[in-house]
Amino acid sequence: MDQKVDRRSFLNQLGVTVGAAAASAVPVIGPAEAQTASAPKGKIPDTPLKMGHMTFLTGPAAVLGEPSLKGHILAAEEINAKGGILGKRKIETITADEAAGTDANVKELRRMKLSEKIDMFTGVISSGNTPALGPVAEELGLLTIFVDGCTDFLWDKAVPNPKFTFRITNIQSADGVTCAVAAAQTWPTAKKIAHIHPDYSYGRNAFDHFTLAYKKLVPGAEVVSEGWPKLGTTDFTAHITKAMSANPDIIMSSVWGGDYVAMYKQALRYGMFNKAKFASTIAFGVAPHAIGKDHPEGVIAGVHSNYYFTYPAGNRWPANKTFVEKYHKRWNEYPNFQSDGAYHTLHMYRTAVEKANKLTGGWPDEEAIISQLEGMYFETAAGYLYIRPDNHQGYKDAVTGFSKNVDAYPFQILDPNRMITIPIRNITAPPGWPKPGSGHNDPTSTFNWIKETWPQVA
């Protein structure tokens, strides 16, 4: 890998595309979940299907996590309106507050399975929790589709050979890389980077992958400042002033949820956004209405490289249009990427059950449902979603974008005409790439893959 490549041609190779204006007057196509399934085979019990959904219902993380439950409820109501899964089994959901802390969450997951006898578990937002809950779900033999908590660590180390556990939102390493690609493409001369990240696995992961990819794309780039506020903190003064005093070209951050809302409001007071460019992996991951019109325009305001409701605009991707309309009608607000994840988790599960039923008849057992989920290609509001069979991880093309005020919404949005989309396979390790601890000790397999295979652009 010693050939010289210039940045522009390497970015072209990566397939980085910037969204253009929406087309109009396209025919309305019904999304997948509206298509009616044929009558189920065999005798289906009519006992309700119990599900557990865990997400942040309290605290600063709730503004990002709570839409997950709303997406889940919307899908469950749609399914129940048609008589339930396979027309018979209605969904009953019990919820739990993820803010209770990792240890309490482990207890609660066991309670849901052993005492409440749930059939499926979903939700979970924080990367601090999935590595704890994944092994517990495997231990219990409980079919689990995590909505988020997308740390690479879950499949790299905590559950290296998943059987019962799946995850739907993009893998975390892609998040830092997406942000680095977007920043390198937008501000190719910016070399001095200051960082502000929450001090836990997500922040470290974003820092590691951004820094690695950015240095590959921008020769001579350096980290001039690091700030590590505790997750759930609301006072960022010290970190903002520290980052600013380093005279950076870009301030990069993975602070999320209510933490981010507090941070940007404080940063405005200090004029931070005038002093340097700003790039975030997940600023607009919160429920859209949580971002005020006072938020700076034109910054890279990531959505965890998953989904923003304004893109694709119009009816170019009908699954998005209908999802946003339904969600808005039900909740009188707009969805975030967790809503999309949780909503499609349930419809994906329903589809897997229907497919398995065609093969086995009756209510399919867990093995049959799992075999249908493995390798599934699914249409979501965010685009095509692929569940990789080897690690049970969902992959979709990564997106990020730029903040903009428009009259149509009372809050600031991501500009649908300036979205950046990157094919996921170009920024994340392929199946079978060595995991940390086998042949290398890098933080993730994607980290090692980028280090080994990406060229250093000239």
Q: Under the rule (CB under 8 A), what is the footprint of other proteins?
A: 57-58, 94-97, 100-104, 106-108, 110-111, 114-115, 128, 131-132, 135-136, 139-140, 151, 153, 158, 199-201, 204, 230-231
Question: Which residue type is seen at 419?
Answer: M
Q: Cβ of residue 242: shortest distance to other proteins, in angstroms?
A: 16
State the maximum Cα–Cα separation within the chain, in Å, rounded to a whole number.
69
Nearest CB to other proteins, comparing residues 84 and 131: 131
- List Cβ neighbours of 364 (8 Å cut-off, separation of 6 or more): 353, 356, 357
Q: Cβ of residue 182: shortest distance to other proteins, in angstroms?
A: 26
Nearest CB to other proteins, comparing residues 328 and 451: 451
Nearest CB to other proteins, comparing residues 31 and 176: 176
Nearest CB to other proteins, comparing residues 113 and 344: 113
Dihedral through CA 22, CA 303, CA 457, CA 223, nearest 10?
140
SS3 content of the chain, % helix, strand, coil (to 5): 40, 15, 45
Q: How far is CA 215 from CA 16, 119, 211, 273, 450, in A?
A: 18, 46, 6, 23, 11
Q: Cβ of residue 414: shortest distance to other proteins, in angstroms?
A: 29
Q: Cβ of residue 304: shortest distance to other proteins, in angstroms?
A: 18
Q: Cβ of residue 46: shortest distance to other proteins, in angstroms?
A: 24
Nearest CB to other proteins, comparing residues 199 and 297: 199
Q: Cβ of residue 424: shortest distance to other proteins, in angstroms?
A: 24
The encoded tokens of residue 26 equal: 């396209």
Q: What are phi and psi of 398, to 5 degrees?
A: -80, 140
- List Cβ neighbours of 35 (8 Å cut-off, separation of 6 or more): none
Q: Cβ of residue 275: shortest distance to other proteins, in angstroms?
A: 28
Are 20 and 418 in contact by the 8 Å Cβ rule? The answer is no
Measured distance between the N- and C-terminal CA atoms of the chain, rounded to whole angstroms: 13
The Cα–Cα gap between 445 and 319 comes to 32
Q: Cβ of residue 302: shortest distance to other proteins, in angstroms?
A: 21
- If DSSP codes are grouped into helix, strand and coil, which group holds residue 227? strand
Nearest CB to other proteins, comparing residues 140 and 368: 140
Nearest CB to other proteins, comparing residues 136 and 381: 136
The Cα–Cα gap between 369 and 142 comes to 12
For residue 289, give the H/E element and its range.
none
Q: Cβ of residue 65: shortest distance to other proteins, in angstroms?
A: 12
- Residue written as tokens 């339904």? 326
Nearest CB to other proteins, comparing residues 273 and 331: 331
For residue 422, give the H/E element and its range.
strand 420-422
Nearest CB to other proteins, comparing residues 249 and 366: 366
Q: What are phi and psi of 40, to 5 degrees?
A: -70, 155
Angle between helix axes 62-81 and 337-360 (nearest 10 degrees) is 30
